[in-house]
Chains A and B, each alone.
Chain A
Amino acid sequence: MAALDEIPRRAAAPAAPARRRPAVLRNLQAKIASLPMILIALVVFVGCTLWTVFHSFTTSRLLPRTDWAGLAQYRRLWGEQRWLVSIENLAIYGALTLVFSLVIGFTLAALLDRKIRGEDVFRTIILYPFALSFIVTGLVWQWILNPDFGVQAVVRSWGWTGFTFDPLNNPDIVIYGILIAGLWQGTGLVMVIMLAGLRGIDGEIWKAARVDGIPAWKTYLLVIIPMMRPVFVTALVLIGSGIIKVYDLVVAQTSGGPGIASEVPAKYVYDRMFRDQNLGQGFAASTMMLVSVAIVLIPWAYLEFGRRRKA
């Protein structure tokens, strides 16, 4: 109530000095307006996270329960072959997606930025897959990679009968089959972000580089890319969140198969919680996912924001 009383009083006496108020009361309207958002963030994100972490230490099955189980769920989790395979797959998929989508995305953007003819057309074509959901992407690539109908069949019909390319049916390389579909879908967005970043680079810099006789690739590598740091951070966050939550692509393309060769952590969580009616185990797995994200994010945030404050 005190906060609400504040508004009419201030309206009545506009000359009231703001600097005497404590920091909390400054910009009061803005703070009141953002209160719902803050509450939602606290309750939905922080609250539910804590609730999940708490219940990962219980024996909850279909319904959440509070029977304490200690670390039993975690011990079981790390003894599960399927979880270990999931982690390995995510590591491979994640590392390669990160590298390839940044490299390919930037290269495409740089090529488009050379003032080529028909840029709009290329941009549209390359960005187009991003308009498709992961489910559609997964199905399309399931067919393309199907040995009886897809690439393999086409190449064989050209006469090269020994040709074999069926990543989705080979447990050793199935994750690369998923990677191809993921890159096809996601690289366009990275390219557009990069292109926007490149367009933001002052033309004078290019002129200066040309005057100094620096080759274009060197200008990109040593001048332009360092200047595009914020753009790279944006792309990194988008790619990173896409990696950790990859689920629908796998479901559509292989449903985790052959066997368990293309399982990913998010699918483990879903299957345990809903298919097997074992909330405790699913929560333990999702808590581990949160921990792994935190391990990457906290040092980065510390460096990023800690340094900025000093500057």
Chain B
Amino acid sequence: MTRFASLAGMTAISVAAGSAWAVELEVMHWWTSGGEAAAVAEFARHFEERTDHTWVDGAIAGGGAVARPIMVSRILGGDPMGAFQFNHGRQAEELIEAGLLLDLTDVAEAQGWRDIVRPSNLLDACTVDGRIYCVPVNIHSWQWLWLSHKAFEDAGLEVPSDWFEFVEAAPALREAGKIPLALGGQPWQSTGAFNVMAVAIAGPEAYAQVMGEKNAEVARGEDYARVFEAAVAAREMAQGSNVQEWQQATNLVITGQAGGQIMGDWAQGDFQVAGQVAGEDYSCLPGLGVNEVISAGGDAFYFPVHSDPAVTEAQKELAALLLDPEVQVDFNLAKGSLPVRGDVNLDAANDCMRKGLEILAAGAVLPDGVTTLSPDTTGQIDDLMAEFWSTSMTAEQAQERYAAIIEAAD
């Protein structure tokens, strides 16, 4: 026994009563905002209550762009954690090809993930050559406009019902001393806001052509030209929101200093933590109130390969637990995201989540950029958007450079 423990090396092993090995499983993620931390605590609670294992929380502050390199170097460096969160899709592609991630196909088949996970493209994003390598835990969609009722009341305005009304209200908001549109300074936020505007203004087909098929012709075309013009207007509206993190920008909306924010449904969790009520204190407009569709991206957990069978066993137990109906409900209610299985009871869901569920049930689902574009292309678009939103680059220049990136995308 002791010899085996010493062979296990870095992984801490202790012997539990009976034959089961209790493992300390280190789980790395970048969920640090109020709503996110509450959500991940649900996973930890269920994991420790239902198994003998211990959840070691490895939260990394600063978002995915900071956390991903740390996780990847841990795995490549031969000191893998027990499990880690990624946005599924192409980010883990090469790790899977290199055989560094655990094949979960047996767990998936035993539990029938194919039948319970919806929309099915979430599981497809976890599948490489017919094998399943990750557990999708939630559906996140970017296409939301969050509006502060207080800000509009202060300015003596009606709360708008779509993007175009919002743009019209912007000068009045500005006059009332509000920032019309809150936007954090990190590049991924401006890219996200742009993509949301693309769905709303160019329409879902054009968006799917550009994101899914990487069609540069469409990216150069009329529809996208209107998107870039709208983005120039949005850039004006975002003047003055000197914040970096998305939580800070959301906070501007919560406190009524800003009229609205384009942000994914994870912002919901922060409204909830602040004690705000959907429909009373804030409104949410899916697809900016123009095209009610959502792009189903999300978070997924991956499990690096360990040589110790006890760890592998614990990893598979966690993988199965993440999709448990009860766990799914507790986690997603806290996080403000939608569960990946349709057969769970979501009576506790609030106004905004219900809207999302209806859209999902109607099947108005688009591919998310994270699942179709390589991190390299995403990075280039992020750089372009960061530059575009902070300078006076014209719509035409930005569109041409955007199309060139789409053209060269792999």
Interface residues of A (CB under 8 A from B): 61-63, 80-82, 146-148, 166, 169, 171, 255-261, 271-272, 274-278, 281
Contact = CB atoms under 8 A, between A and B. Distances in A.
Interface in B167-223: 185-186
Interface in B65-98: 65, 68-69, 72-73, 76, 91, 93-95, 98
Contacts of A63: 76, 94, 98
Given A62-B72, A259-B386, 5 more contacts: A80-B380, A271-B379, A276-B378, A277-B72, A281-B376
Contacts of B73: 274
B383 interface: yes
B390 A258 contact: yes
A276 B379 contact: yes
- Give chain B's interface secondary structure class: helix
Contacts of B390: 171, 257-261
A275 B91 CA distance: 10
- Give chain A's interface secondary structure class: loop
Contacts of B380: 80, 276
Contacts of B289: none
Contacts of B95: 62
B256 to A, nearest CB: 17
A275 B65 contact: yes
A63 B401 CA distance: 28
Q: Which of A166, A258, A275 has the most CB of B within 10 A?
A: A275
A146 B244 CA distance: 12
B242 A275 contact: no
13 contacts: A62-B93, A62-B95, A63-B94, A80-B380, A81-B383, A81-B387, A82-B387, A257-B244, A257-B390, A260-B383, A274-B72, A275-B379, A278-B379
B252 to A, nearest CB: 12
A232 B72 CA distance: 42
B375 interface: yes
B19 interface: no
B189 to A, nearest CB: 11
Interface in B366-387: 374-376, 378-380, 383-384, 386-387
Interface string B383-401: 1101111110000000001
A255 B186 contact: yes
B185 A258 contact: yes
A260 B387 contact: yes
A61 B68 contact: no
Given A62-B95, A274-B69, A276-B376, A255 B242 contact: no
Nearest to B95: A62
Contact of B376 (A169, A171, A277): A277
Nearest to A274: B69
A115 B240 CA distance: 50
Which 5 A-B pairs have CB atoms at the shortest separation, nearest pair first? A259-B390, A274-B69, A276-B379, A62-B94, A258-B390
A275 B94 CA distance: 14
B386 A275 contact: no
Contacts of B379: 271-272, 275-276, 278
Q: Which of B98, B374, B390 has the most CB of A within 10 A?
A: B390
